[in-house]
Chain A
Amino acid sequence: MRNTRHAYRMAATVAAVLLTATPAFAADQSVALVLGVKGSPFYQALACGAKAKARELGLQLTVSAPDQFAADSQIPVVNAVAATRPAVAAVVPTDTQALIEPLRQLHQRGTRVITVDQTINDTSFVASRIQTDNEAGGRLAADAMNTLLGGKGKVLTITQPPGSAAQDAREAGFRAELKRFPGIVYLGPQYQSDDPQKAAEIVTSTLSAHPDLAGIFATNDQGAIGTVTGLRQAGGIGRVKVVAYDAATAEVNALKNGSIQTLIAQTPKEEGEAAMQAAAAMMQGKPVDKVILTHIVTIKAGDTATADRYEYQGNCP
């Protein structure tokens, strides 16, 4: 008897919560944004830029994100977004191959698909691709490293395991540009899987093997934070020059206190805004560029004004 009453109460509460949740939006007005992963400063900044622009343009935006930066985690989220039949979906694909079929299904159900930041191998049904030139970013990093090292020394790259298109392009660009500087010895890439702890361990181990290590290139924010930690533990701050991709708050602070010497900043806010502008144009039937490039910026130590301007702002309503 008591248990049945419990059941009714539980059912009533669940129903009440669900019915008072966000109102159902008209299917032809809404825009969905699927990020690469929850809790990443870069994607938070992207979402913030998108939300602000959506408010400005009067779009109904819903933001979703998977728990891990992996296809098996993101695909259920993409499927659920496809079920809501938004007018436009902007997705950060976490795998160049596995996301092809889910995004194609999204397209077949009448949604226009935009890929943001990362991309997929088959873009025949993708209305627009918003990306940065990651290879150029890698080259900028190599140029910065050369300047910092005065043309000679051993250099290590800390990056994601192969398979992430953006990270691979950054490392490839870095490696290619380094060939122009004969005095620099490239030790190759080491993989940290978005784990600052692991990055720190890699740095301390490499310093033991190569005490004369002169420079480290970190291809994303997590790698950069781990690199700084590792250098601090090994007493190499300032002696080993660090060039890091991304301008998360932790990295900007490291730049200001001298742990990182140069940042290659992307503009996630701009990517989010570009996605919303492309979505609005699509919904109005206007033509949209197939590829939209957002720019990257080199921030040198001491240039606090630029650092503050390009710092990734992840806190927004």
Chain B
Amino acid sequence: MNWSKSAAVRESCATPDACATDPQQTLYERLHHFAGGGWILILLLVLVAGFWIARPAQFGSTYNLTMLAVNAAILLVLSVGQTYVIVSAGIDLSVGAVLVFSSVASAQTMLWLSGEPAGTFGTTSGGWGVIAAGLLVAVASGAAWGALNGALVALVRIPALIVTLGSLGMALGLAQVLTGGVDVRAVPDLLVTQVGNGTLLGIPMLVVIAALVAIVAAIALHLTRFGLQVFAVGSNAEAARRSGIRLRRRIVSVYMLSGMLAGLAAMMSIARFSTTTINGHAMDNLSTISAVVLGGTSLFGGVGTMMGTVIGVFIPIVLLNGFVILGIPPFWQTVAMGAVLILAVWIDQIKRRVRQG
């Protein structure tokens, strides 16, 4: 039996018997499942087409489409981590705070290594070695917070909601302690010009990084044993444990992955904004969760796709961008985005129920 398709098979089978006798899915079914298994992709295409038709020169300009991708990049990296956590039936509310902490730790390290005093403004002359050290610090601090989250969830058995809410407070508070509340304003010039604003073959570097992360994570989630175990843990943790999966190790590694990706996102944030943003990223946790859920991943775990998350990340960003371009008043934008979120998940639910008979 082909394990790597187990989740897909469950998704598109009318009855278990039909699947047992016909394990070969058609190409259409496989593509359909790959595209988030629902109407989310169609919704995104409808939105993009709609805004494009309404404002072709503005929404459809190269500049705007590029900016959409760049604005999605950091959130996508965070959402990839969140996907793993939610598929394993957990939740990570601390992503934004871990990002802030990692960005602060990394920026201070890079500043110290470039030999500039603490209150410098602008950019420093730190080379790639300094940037590499900063990246290491960022990912390591993210991994540390992730390990803490995972240990408290898996070993001490505190609910993930509470643990990550607590680590949110601790990470944000420690970031403020480390800096006295003042953002680190001096980051290496190379980081800002080459990564934050640089391009590779015409594609912004941040988008390249986010795309690579998403592709690698998708392969790991859908085609490796690690990913399979994550699905199993989310589907039924007790059954997973009894079938030999090292449950606690898997849970800790999933949260560590989320933390490390938050650390990577922190470097991307520093590169993009050329400053740490201690007062920002406050809503990132909810944005990532809604992106993951929009993409078709179940909050109860065991079901989900990485492509769905990618689409889910783009929907709020496209909506905001389109609304601002159309000139819709800001308060109505808030109303509309909430409504679209509910509508999107509702349509997806209808479709799933129809398929399951």
Physical interaction between A and B: yes
- List 11 A-B pairs, Cβ < 8 Å: A21-B327, A64-B324, A72-B74, A79-B71, A83-B67, A97-B121, A97-B275, A98-B273, A101-B274, A161-B182, A193-B279
* CB-contact partner of A38 in B71, B334, B351, under 8 A: B334
By the criterion CB–CB under 8 Å, are A62 and B327 in contact? yes
Q: Which residues of A contact B (CB under 8 A)?
A: 2-3, 6-7, 10-11, 14-15, 18-19, 21-22, 24, 27, 35, 38-39, 62-65, 67-73, 75-77, 79-85, 95, 97-98, 100-101, 109, 121, 161-163, 191, 193
Give the nearest-CB partner of A22 in chain B.
B327
How far, in Å, is B326 (CB) from chain A's closest CB? Answer: 5
By the criterion CB–CB under 8 Å, are A163 and B181 in contact? yes
By the criterion CB–CB under 8 Å, are A101 and B197 in contact? yes
Complex CA gap A193/B279 in Å reads 8
By the criterion CB–CB under 8 Å, are B279 and A69 in contact? yes
* CB-contact partner of A100 in B59, B63, B70, B274, under 8 A: B274
Tally of chain B residues near chain A (CB < 8 A):
58
How far, in Å, is A168 (CB) from chain B's closest CB? Answer: 9
Give the nearest-CB partner of A60 in chain B.
B327
Complex CA gap A243/B6 in Å reads 66
B183 at the interface (CB under 8 A from A): yes
B64 cross-chain contacts in A, Cβ below 8 A = 79-80, 83
How far, in Å, is A212 (CB) from chain B's closest CB? Answer: 27
By the criterion CB–CB under 8 Å, are A75 and B71 in contact? yes
A100 cross-chain contacts in B, Cβ below 8 A = 274
By the criterion CB–CB under 8 Å, are B51 and A163 in contact? no
By the criterion CB–CB under 8 Å, are A7 and B282 in contact? no
By the criterion CB–CB under 8 Å, are B324 and A77 in contact? yes
B58-72: CB near A (< 8 Å → 1, else 0) gives 110101100100110
Q: A79-B321, A85-B58 are in contact. Are A15 and B67 (CB under 8 A)?
A: no
How far, in Å, is B315 (CB) from chain A's closest CB? Answer: 13
Give the nearest-CB partner of A70 in chain B.
B280
By the criterion CB–CB under 8 Å, are A14 and B183 in contact? no
How far, in Å, is B278 (CB) from chain A's closest CB? Answer: 7
Complex CA gap A97/B186 in Å reads 10
By the criterion CB–CB under 8 Å, are B320 and A80 in contact? yes
Q: A71-B273, A80-B321 are in contact. Are A21 and B326 (CB under 8 A)?
A: yes
Within 8 A of A (CB), among B252-271: 269
B11-54: CB near A (< 8 Å → 1, else 0) gives 00000000000000000000000000001001100110011011
By the criterion CB–CB under 8 Å, are B330 and A65 in contact? yes
Give the nearest-CB partner of A73 in chain B.
B280
Give the nearest-CB partner of A21 in chain B.
B326
Q: A64-B330, A163-B181 are in contact. Are A21 and B54 (CB under 8 A)?
A: yes
B216 at the interface (CB under 8 A from A): no
By the criterion CB–CB under 8 Å, are B324 and A161 in contact? no
Q: A72-B277, A83-B59, A83-B63 are in contact. Are A3 and B54 (CB under 8 A)?
A: no
Within 8 A of A (CB), among B303-357: 317, 320-322, 324-331, 334, 347, 350-351, 354
By the criterion CB–CB under 8 Å, are A7 and B42 in contact? yes
How far, in Å, is A97 (CB) from chain B's closest CB? Answer: 4
